[in-house]
């Protein structure tokens, strides 16, 4: 089946089998391997991407459902090659990761939060990432990173 | 004073992960790559009457379907860690299956989708046979046998008596006994296990890319495939998406490698989550402890008795050795005079057991800490005070415990005081009362636990006399290139521990070079040096030591060349940033860049008899290691002992049984910290694992031998809303055995948290006259117990 | 965990949806948000021959206010409903329930109608629909049909929807008056899990905010479908909803329940906790109503 969509600002057109999940499409057809597969049943959040402005599970969508959509993956976060988004920079600053496997999904969830709320409480942050499981960090440095990024964004704006 | 060690620095690894540029095994693509899916047994025990692969083979895109019988005809069985030669286990079932989820056949196809389609078309005729799920039932003489040729389900039964156990029991004023249960769980990384295998007929090399954290991986592959070790090239530059002990996909690798060789194509097997949970054999320890403790009126604990029954499931690989590591800290941080330990490993019809963070120490720590709490309650003493009275004092190090290991250093009471202060323990009782006044149960957990680090794997010969391991070295190569830049080489893959940062920081420290300019690369098993992967909280100690050693050798070589060039002697030189100068005449100096040119291109400026180039290797021996256990099981195991005090408060809704953790504090001492952010993450992350083990996570089998928690919907990994804002304080007692005083830190959080939560929950239950030492303390069972009001029973009895 | 093969079609209007569903030669299944269906397909526990994606049918995506009801299109995303001022104003119980559904990312895709058609006995949206007496509007090639949600729910994961029918919208009666209040309480092991047990209550007090004049009190997760607690409701009608009265009233509730044992909780747990959560939800609704009075 022919699908056309926008991924990280680029138009792409592909023939896909209807049963191909969006995450498999991104990874295997587009070589965007930053989006990870963790559980394939919608619990872990490693495959989080932004579809039409909202963070969603790319394992819980078939690529055909994304026909016509705008998709942003971890490769599309940031302000261009070689630059980091405020969140990416903050994740590095607080070492909000260890193995790095959940990290892209976690950053996507956080980008989605900060797009709607640039002054989140710790509870807001924890609720925004509750669907993204991290096995390494215990979340504390992740919460700190998101709060730091929010602060940096607010300061840069004012 | 240090320049880089212990200083805040952004970890080298993080940059690639935050941009989605990590290279995990699933990101590896080889031309013509094929994909495997497994056919798994739906029943816990059966004879395989027939396997018909014809419908599967007929599906377009399917290359092959292999059975366990075919694989066994071309490979050797798994090596047993225990001395159990009649326990014969292959990667896939041969003749019979021993647990629900066991691999029966493997499909290889042009895509994973097609492989899964074909797996459904493999027709297997199972003849059901008797099975056993409960480990105590499995020990009975009439129990169905998991491994018939072995003649029993007991894989190991060894008693140890360390010190005057009988005398200590007699002289003690009190003795109590009780049972503690540790549920079957695992650290369950978000990345499943995966492997890509490619047999290259031209070079005769088997290339392996895998999500692996496993000592002797290549050795095991070569042994099972019966090929020379120097044909196996396992690549260590694959990022591992979390492991914490469990990434040991040897059987996966054998299947993929066999298929690759048979068909001459690259073969990839990435477990999906259901395969991972049911058939990946990554479940951790599953234990029953029968504890006895002998003590005096003042709370002095004289002797411990520990009977540990560990349910190993259906294999006998490395899992059962997890009964051995706790021997290295069998007294906890306490001055206990004697210990009786009976280690029993039992086979059942469940998934085989894998190594999990702490290698069996965390369950044992729960049992030891439960003892201390019960002693305090029996004597009506403060639980922290009982600990203070029994802790080893700072002027008593090195402290040798009855089982033979020496604790290197520590100031346990100072760490405890930091935890007390940070947690505001003095007013925590008031917060407990406040919660109780709102109708909640509330309790405090205070535990003190040890983390052995950097060991020599002496639990192998301890539990298997045919094993003669007495060291577990680690290596590092450091070279300076012709432009004066440094590259370090290590022989392990990394699963989040920050080895590149560790090595660059230590080399930077030794050579006064900015760690950000140092490249650290991962070799493979053909180019690499002796190594044993990041298990057992060993890398700061062992890889850090190897990096320091190699850098030190390089510094000596550089100084020799510099002294020659500056017409002085090496001992007159002073290391400065980027080179050397003569101490008495600082104007005379030379840069590393210039020295690098000399070493690589200017033989006329080289000292006589010095070979060209700037490359040094250091193989780090385990400090304090090197002896086999005595016949009565006394052995020095670990060189370094980190210490932690966890203090937490829980609140339990008595109606729902739901436990909430409003306060959690850890003070810890892992000696010298190399990178503060990495250490902090390790401690908190380990504690989060421990909270999962204490409250949520269990691989639950029903009486039919079926795994009930085989997906992430039922196996409950805590999210950001379950893990509290854990607060930390640090103390530093350097180890005398390591390059910079560092100790291990990768496991400590996990070694303390389950005990802390269990003690807090039991403290909360005291007003109801209840107790529950059965982990995980899940809400449903806890609430049923509260509602049923089972009484405290013999809590205070002998 | 790859789905078995299937065909995919994406009709643009309801007529085409009904045409597609009327073809009995092929096993079609409607997909909206897919947050439950897709994992079932990944585990091959569901294997439709054809997916009919209804999310591009405009007429299914609206929230429409009429005099007495709020009509929520079947494909309205749970997250949109959660943020909807109209729902917040007129269906406060649904507003309270929605944040408990899955987590933000599944609510971004999952739909109100999808949850109801899935008929999970623990689902918060189903429980809310039963509590509020929602009416479902269905469409097939043979025309429209409306059915009360309690008649729609047949058993756990089973509804009376015909193979050729598509859920179009759900009519929720408006509940917010100055004398009304609601409560929603659930318990689960982790915040984002399915509820083990949940209770939803919508009630009205008299003008003086003293006596209860109407109450819907419903329990989810403790039977195959949400259970309205008639005895509890009857015993509270006309009462002042003191804690003691509530305590006494909920003691009847558990008798109606036929819960299952599972790995997370025993049936006894569900019965016991259902009564306790119901009491909490009634108290929450009462306090909600009375605090409203101060606000007015």
Q: Is the pLDDT of residue C294 over 80?
A: no
**Which residue in C has a C-alpha nearest to residue A50's C-alpha?**
C105
Find where tokens 């005099």 sit: C67
Long-range contacts of C253-260 (CB under 8 A, 24+ apart): C253/C217, C253/C219, C253/C229, C253/C278, C255/C231, C256/C223, C256/C227, C256/C229, C256/C230, C256/C231, C257/C219, C257/C222, C257/C223, C257/C227, C258/C222, C258/C223, C258/C224, C259/C221, C259/C222, C259/C223
Residue B266 belongs to some domain of the structure:
no
Residue C7 or B797, more confident: C7
- Determine whether the interchain pair A98/B685 forms a contact, defined as Cβ–Cβ distance below 8 Å: yes
Residue B246 belongs to some domain of the structure:
no
Q: Are residues B562 and B613 in the same domain?
A: yes
Q: Are residues B301 and B434 in the same domain?
A: yes
- Determine whether the interchain pair A39/B187 forms a contact, defined as Cβ–Cβ distance below 8 Å: no
Find where tokens 């520590």 sit: B410
Q: Are residues B648 and B589 in the same domain?
A: no
- Determine whether the interchain pair A45/C102 forms a contact, defined as Cβ–Cβ distance below 8 Å: no
Instruction: Kindly state the tokens that stand for B673.
Output: 């910290």
Rg (CA), chain A: 15
**B697: domain range?**
287-458+628-788
Residue B437 belongs to some domain of the structure:
yes
Closest by Cβ to A137, choosing from B684, B713, B721: B684
Q: pLDDT at position C292, please?
A: 59
Mutate to test the interface with B, among A138, A146, A149 (most CBs of B within 10 A): A138
Q: Of B154, B528, B561, B198, whose CA–CA distance to B344 is shortest?
A: B154
Q: How many domains does chain B have?
A: 2
Q: State whether ipTM is beyond 0.90.
A: yes
Which of B620, B637, B665 represents a domain boundary (last residue)? B620
Q: pLDDT at position B796, please?
A: 37
Would you say C90 and C68 are in contact if contact means Cβ atoms under 8 Å apart? no
Q: Is the pLDDT of residue C223 over 50?
A: yes
Instruction: Kindly state the tokens that stand for B153.
Output: 């389900």
Mean per-residue pLDDT pooled into runs of 10, chain B (798 residues): 96 97 98 98 98 98 98 97 96 98 98 98 98 98 97 98 98 98 98 98 97 96 98 98 97 98 98 98 97 98 98 91 97 98 98 96 98 98 98 98 98 98 98 98 98 94 95 97 98 97 98 98 97 94 98 98 97 96 96 98 96 97 92 96 98 98 98 98 98 98 98 97 98 98 97 98 96 97 89 40
Residue B215 belongs to some domain of the structure:
no
CA B511 centroid distance within chain: 32
User: CA B132, B135, B140, B145: dihedral to nearest 10 degrees?
Assistant: 40
Stretch 77-116 of chain A: residues touching chain B, C-beta under 8 Å: 78, 84, 88, 91-95, 97-104, 107
Residue B169 belongs to some domain of the structure:
no
Q: Are residues B550 and B471 in the same domain?
A: yes
Residue ranges matching CATH 3.10.20.30 in chain A: 2-76
**Which residue in B has a C-alpha nearest to residue A32's C-alpha?**
B20
Q: Are residues B494 and B566 in the same domain?
A: yes
Strands A70-72 and B34-40: unpaired
Which of B552, B586, B620 represents a domain boundary (last residue)? B620
User: CA B157, B162, B166, B168: dihedral to nearest 10 degrees?
Assistant: -140
Q: Is the pLDDT of residue A79 over 90?
A: no
Tell me the C-alpha to C-alpha distance, in Å, between residue B668 and each of B99, B417, B640, B702, C96: 41, 11, 14, 39, 42
Specify the fold of A2-76: Ubiquitin-like (UB roll) (3.10.20)
CA–CA min distance B90, chain A (Å): 27
In the complex, which subunits touch C with 3 or more CB pairs below 8 angstroms? Answer: A, B
Q: pLDDT at position B794, please?
A: 38
Taking residues A39-46, report their average pLDDT: 98
Q: Of A135, A131, A128, A152, whose CA–CA distance to A97 is shortest?
A: A135
User: CB contact, 8 Å: A75 with chain B?
Assistant: yes
Single pTM value for the model: 0.97
Query: Residue B54 and residue B57: Cα distance in Å, rounded?
Result: 5
Instruction: Kindly state the tokens that stand for B336.
Output: 């206990």
Residue B53 belongs to some domain of the structure:
no
Would you say C227 and C219 are in contact if contact means Cβ atoms under 8 Å apart? yes
Task: Summarize pLDDT for A89-116 with one digit per residue, the tens.
Answer: 999 999 999 999 999 999 999 999 999 9
Closest by Cβ to A131, choosing from C10, C39, C192: C192
Q: Are residues B408 and B318 in the same domain?
A: yes
Which of B586, B620, B654 represents a domain boundary (last residue)? B620
Rg (CA), chain C: 19
Give chain A positions within 8 Å (CB) of B273. Answer: 38-41
H runs (alpha helix) in B264-382 = 273-279, 361-379
Q: Is the pLDDT of residue C192 over 90?
A: no
User: CB contact, 8 Å: C243 with chain B?
Assistant: no
Q: pLDDT at position C120, please?
A: 96
* C-alpha angle C86-C89-C92 in degrees, rounded to nearest 5: 110
Task: Summarize pLDDT for B171-191 with one digit per residue, the tens.
Answer: 999 999 999 999 999 999 999
Would you say B489 and B780 are in contact if contact means Cβ atoms under 8 Å apart? no
Q: How many Å is the maximal CA-CA distance in chain B?
A: 88
Query: Residue C21 and residue B292: Cα distance in Å, rounded?
Result: 68
CA–CA min distance B725, chain A (Å): 6
Mutate to test the interface with A, among C37, C39, C56, C104 (most CBs of A within 10 A): C104
Task: Summarize pLDDT for C79-115 with one digit per residue, the tens.
Answer: 999 999 999 999 999 999 999 999 999 999 999 999 9
Second-level CATH architecture of A86-157: Orthogonal Bundle (1.10)
- Determine whether the interchain pair A36/B240 forms a contact, defined as Cβ–Cβ distance below 8 Å: no
Strand ordering across the sheet containing B615-620 = B519-522, B486-490, B474-480, B615-620
Residue A13's DSSP bridge partners are A4
Give chain A's length: 158
Tell me the C-alpha to C-alpha distance, in Å, between residue C37 and each of B53, B113, B421, B442: 30, 18, 51, 41
Q: pLDDT at position B635, please?
A: 96
Q: Are residues B545 and B575 in the same domain?
A: yes
Q: Are residues B534 and B677 in the same domain?
A: no
Domain CATH number, residue B365: 3.30.365.10
Q: Are residues B427 and B315 in the same domain?
A: yes
Mutate to test the interface with B, among A86, A124, A135 (most CBs of B within 10 A): A135
Task: Give B589: exposed, middle or buried? Use CB within 10 Å, 0-12, 13-18, 19+.
Answer: middle
Q: Are residues B297 and B392 in the same domain?
A: yes
- Determine whether the interchain pair C1/B709 forms a contact, defined as Cβ–Cβ distance below 8 Å: no
User: CB contact, 8 Å: C83 with chain A?
Assistant: no
Q: pLDDT at position B790, please?
A: 56
User: CB contact, 8 Å: C39 with chain A?
Assistant: yes
Query: Residue B434 and residue B439: Cα distance in Å, rounded?
Result: 9
Would you say B65 and B122 are in contact if contact means Cβ atoms under 8 Å apart? yes
Query: Residue B212 and residue B494: Cα distance in Å, rounded?
Result: 9
Query: Residue B496 and residue B243: Cα distance in Å, rounded?
Result: 8
Q: Give the number of A-B residue pairs with CB atoms closer than 8 Å.
A: 175
CA–CA min distance B719, chain C (Å): 7
User: CB contact, 8 Å: C189 with chain A?
Assistant: no
Q: Is the pLDDT of residue C295 over 70?
A: no
Q: Are residues B480 and B533 in the same domain?
A: yes
Residue B501 belongs to some domain of the structure:
yes
Query: Residue B462 and residue B455: Cα distance in Å, rounded?
Result: 13
Residue ranges matching CATH 1.10.150.120 in chain A: 86-157
Residue B141 belongs to some domain of the structure:
no
Q: Phi and psi dihedrals of C256, rounded to 5?
A: -75, -15
Q: Are residues B596 and B741 in the same domain?
A: no
CA–CA min distance A147, chain C (Å): 19
**Which residue in C has a C-alpha nearest to residue A124's C-alpha?**
C104
- Determine whether the interchain pair A60/C39 forms a contact, defined as Cβ–Cβ distance below 8 Å: yes
User: CA B103, B108, B109, B113: dihedral to nearest 10 degrees?
Assistant: 20
Tell me the C-alpha to C-alpha distance, in Å, between residue C27 and each of A107, C46, C47, C51: 39, 11, 9, 9
């Amino acid at each position: 089946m022919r699908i056309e969509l926008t991924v990280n600002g680029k138009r792409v057109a592909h023939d896909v089998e209807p049963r191909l999940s969006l995450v498999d499409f991104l990874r295997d057809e587009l070589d965007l391997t930053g989006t990870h597969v963790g559980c394939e049943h919608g619990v872990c959040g490693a495959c989080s991407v932004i579809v039409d402005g909202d963070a969603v599970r790319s394992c819980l969508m078939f690529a055909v459902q994304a026909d016509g959509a705008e998709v942003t993956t971890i490769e599309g976060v940031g302000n261009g090659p070689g630059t980091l988004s405020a969140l990416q920079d903050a994740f590095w600053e607080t070492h909000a990761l260890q193995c790095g496997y959940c990290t892209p999904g976690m950053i996507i969830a956080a980008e989605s939060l900060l797009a709607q709320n640039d002054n989140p409480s710790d509870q807001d942050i924890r609720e925004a990432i509750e669907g993204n499981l991290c096995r390494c960090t215990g979340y504390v440095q992740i919460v700190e990173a998101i709060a730091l990024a929010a602060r940096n964004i607010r300061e840069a704006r004012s | 004073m240090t320049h880089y060690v212990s200083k805040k620095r952004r970890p080298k690894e993080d940059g690639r992960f935050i941009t989605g540029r990590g290279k995990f095994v699933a990101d590896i693509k080889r031309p013509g790559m094929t994909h495997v899916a497994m056919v798994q047994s739906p029943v816990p025990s059966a004879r395989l009457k027939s396997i018909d692969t014809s419908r599967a083979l007929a599906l377009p895109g399917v290359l092959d379907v292999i059975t366990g019988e075919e694989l066994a005809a071309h490979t050797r069985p798994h090596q047993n860690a225990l001395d159990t030669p009649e326990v014969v286990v292959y990667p896939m079932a041969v003749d019979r299956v021993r647990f629900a989820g066991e691999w029966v056949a493997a499909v290889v196809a042009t895509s994973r989708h097609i492989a899964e389609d074909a797996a459904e078309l493999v027709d297997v005729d199972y003849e059901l046979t008797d099975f056993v799920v409960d480990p105590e039932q499995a020990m009975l003489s009439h129990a169905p046998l998991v491994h018939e040729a072995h003649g029993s389900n007991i894989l190991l039964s060894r008693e140890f008596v360390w010190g005057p156990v009988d005398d200590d029991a007699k002289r003690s004023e009190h003795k109590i006994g009780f049972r503690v249960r540790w549920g079957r769980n695992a650290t369950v990384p978000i990345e499943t296990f995966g492997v890509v295998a490619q047999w290259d007929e031209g070079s005769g090399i088997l290339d392996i890319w895998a999500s692996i954290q496993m000592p002797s991986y290549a050795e095991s592959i070569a042994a099972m495939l019966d090929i020379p070790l120097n044909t196996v090239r396992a690549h260590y530059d694959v990022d591992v998406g979390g492991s914490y002990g469990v990434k040991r996909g040897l059987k996966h690798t054998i299947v993929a490698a066999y298929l690759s060789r048979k068909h001459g194509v690259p073969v990839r097997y990435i477990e999906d989550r259901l395969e991972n949970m049911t058939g990946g054999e990554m479940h951790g320890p599953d234990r029953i402890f029968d504890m006895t403790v002998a003590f005096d009126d003042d709370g002095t604990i004289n002797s411990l008795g520990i009977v540990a029954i560990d349910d190993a499931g259906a294999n006998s690989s490395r899992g059962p050795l997890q009964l051995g590591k706790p021997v290295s800290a069998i007294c906890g941080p306490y001055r206990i005079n004697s210990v009786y330990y009976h280690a029993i490993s039992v086979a059942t019809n469940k998934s085989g057991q894998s190594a999990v963070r702490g290698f069996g120490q965390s369950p044992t720590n729960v049992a030891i800490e439960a003892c201390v709490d019960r002693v305090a309650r029996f004597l009506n003493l403060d639980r922290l005070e009982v600990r203070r009275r029994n802790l080893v004092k700072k002027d008593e190090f090195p402290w040798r415990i009855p089982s033979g290991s020496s604790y290197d250093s520590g100031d346990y009471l100072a760490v405890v005081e930091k935890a007390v202060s940070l947690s505001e323990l003095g007013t925590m009782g008031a917060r407990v009362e406040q919660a109780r006044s709102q109708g909640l149960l509330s309790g405090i957990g205070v535990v003190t636990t040890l983390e052995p680090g950097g060991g020599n794997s002496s639990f192998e010969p301890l539990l298997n006399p045919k094993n003669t391991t007495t060291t577990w070295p680690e290596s590092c190569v450091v070279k300076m290139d012709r432009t004066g830049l440094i590259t370090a080489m290590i022989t392990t893959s990394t699963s989040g521990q920050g080895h590149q940062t560790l090595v660059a920081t230590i080399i930077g420290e030794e050579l006064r070079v900015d760690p950000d300019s140092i490249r650290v690369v991962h070799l493979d098993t053909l180019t690499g040096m002796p190594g044993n992967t990041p298990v057992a909280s060993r890398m700061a100690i062992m890889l850090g030591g190897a990096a320091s050693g190699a850098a030190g050798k390089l510094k000596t070589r550089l100084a020799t060349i510099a002294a020659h060039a500056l017409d002085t002697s090496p001992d007159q030189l002073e290391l400065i940033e980027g080179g050397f100068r003569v101490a008495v005449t600082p104007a005379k100096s030379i840069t590393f860049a210039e020295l690098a040119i000399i070493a690589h291109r200017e033989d006329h400026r080289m000292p006589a008899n010095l070979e060209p180039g700037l490359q040094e290797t250091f193989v780090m021996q385990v400090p304090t290691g090197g002896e086999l256990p005595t016949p009565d099981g006394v052995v020095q195991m670990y060189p370094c002992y980190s210490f932690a005090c966890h203090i937490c408060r829980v609140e339990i809704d008595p109606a729902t049984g739901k436990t909430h953790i409003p306060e959690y504090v850890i003070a810890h001492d892992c000696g010298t910290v190399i990178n503060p952010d990495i250490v902090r993450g390790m401690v908190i992350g380990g504690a989060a694992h421990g909270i999962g083990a204490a409250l949520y996570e269990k691989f639950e089998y029903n009486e039919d031998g079926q795994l009930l928690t085989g997906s992430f919907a039922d196996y409950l990994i805590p999210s950001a809303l379950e893990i509290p804002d854990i607060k930390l304080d640090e103390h530093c007692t350097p180890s005398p055995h390591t390059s910079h005083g560092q100790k291990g830190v990768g496991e400590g959080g996990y070694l303390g948290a389950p005990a802390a939560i269990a003690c807090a929950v039991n403290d909360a239950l005291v007003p109801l006259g209840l107790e529950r030492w059965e982990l995980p303390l899940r809400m449903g069972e806890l609430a049923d117990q509260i509602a049923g009001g089972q009484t405290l029973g013999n809590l205070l009895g002998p | 965990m790859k789905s078995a093969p299937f065909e995919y079609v994406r009709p643009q209007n309801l007529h085409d949806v009904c045409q597609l569903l009327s073809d009995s030669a092929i096993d079609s299944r409607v997909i909206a948000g897919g947050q439950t269906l897709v994992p079932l397909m990944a585990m091959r526990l569901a294997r439709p021959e054809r997916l009919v994606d209804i999310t591009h049918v405009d007429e299914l995506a609206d929230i429409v206010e009429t005099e007495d009801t709020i009509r929520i299109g079947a494909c309205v995303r749970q997250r949109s409903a959660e943020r909807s001022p109209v729902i917040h104003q007129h269906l406060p119980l649904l507003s309270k329930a929605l944040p408990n559904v899955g987590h933000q990312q599944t609510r971004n895709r999952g739909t109100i109608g999808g949850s109801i058609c899935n008929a999970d006995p623990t689902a918060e949206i189903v429980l809310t629909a039963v509590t509020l007496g929602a009416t479902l509007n269905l469409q097939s090639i043979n025309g429209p049909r409306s059915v009360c949600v309690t008649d729609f729910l047949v058993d756990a994961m089973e509804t009376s929807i015909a193979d050729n029918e598509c859920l179009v919208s759900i009519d929720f009666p408006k509940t917010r008056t100055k004398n009304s209040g609601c409560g929603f309480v659930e318990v689960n092991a982790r915040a984002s899990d399915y509820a083990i047990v949940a209770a939803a209550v919508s009630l009205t007090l008299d003008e003086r905010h003293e006596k209860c004049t109407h109450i819907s009190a419903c329990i989810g997760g403790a039977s195959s479908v949400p259970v309205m607690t008639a005895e509890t409701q009857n015993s509270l009608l006309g009462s002042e909803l003191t804690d003691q009265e509530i305590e006494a009233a909920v003691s009847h509730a558990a008798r109606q329940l036929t819960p299952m044992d599972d790995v997370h909780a025993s049936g006894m747990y569900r019965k016991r906790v259902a009564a306790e959560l119901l009491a909490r939800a009634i108290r929450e609704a009462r306090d909600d109503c009375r605090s409203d009075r101060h606000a007015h």
